[in-house]
Amino acid sequence: MLYDNRRQIIEPNGFEGFDLSKNIFDSTPLVSSTECAKIRYLSKLTYILPYNKNTSFRSGKVYKSYLVVGVRNFIKGYYSTEPCFGLKGTEFKRVNDLISFIYDFYSTKGIKVSNSSISNLKKRKIIIKPVPNTKENVEFAHYVKVKIPQFDEGLFLKNQ
C-alpha cells in the first residue's frame, strides 16, 4: 500500500481554542505517502523515543553480582583454546563435573549454571578480562586454587 488516503485538516484563520467538538473543519488529501509517513513519525515523537545507537544507554547492570562475572569468566577461561589462568582444559571430564564443581562452593549464592548456559558461553567469542577484585571473587579464586593447584589467581583477579 503506497497511499492510504490520509487527510490534512485545514484550520480557519483566526481560530483559537481547544474545544473542537463544536466545530467542523475542511480537509484536503495529503499529496504523497512520504508526506503521510513524515506526519506519522512526527505524531509519534510525543510518546515514543526514537532509537539512536549513539545516544542509547543501558538501564542497569547486566549481571546481578560480580560473582556471576567471575564464574562466567572461569568457565570461558576453561574452555578457551589457549591456556588461561593456568587451566589445562582437562580438569573436568564432563560439563556436569564443571557444574557440580561450581555448585559445591556456591550452591546458596543464587548462581545458575546449566548445560545450555555453558554451551552458549562456548559458542560466543571468548574475550577474557580480569575479574573485579571483590570479596566473593577472592573466595571463589581461593576455592579454585585449593581444588586445582595450577590455577593462577593473579591472572584471574584484577589488580587494584
Say whether both 24 and 88 belong to one domain.
no
* 99 and 126 assigned to the same domain: yes
Same domain for 78 and 134?
yes
pTM for the whole thing? 0.59
- The 10s digit of each residue's pLDDT in 51-89 is 666 665 655 566 677 788 888 888 888 888 777 888 887
> Among 19-23, 47-51, 84-88, 123-127, whose mean pLDDT is lowest?
47-51
| Residue 143 and residue 72 share a domain | yes
**Residues 71, 49 share a domain:** no
Residues 71 and 131 in one domain: yes
Domain match, 71 and 52 both:
no
Structural domain total, the chain: 2
Q: Which of 79, 60, 72 is nearest to 137 (CA)?
A: 72
Q: Summarize pLDDT for 97-107 with one digit per residue, the tens.
A: 888 888 887 76
Average pLDDT estimate for 30-52: 78
Question: Which residues span the domain enclosing 149?
Answer: 66-156
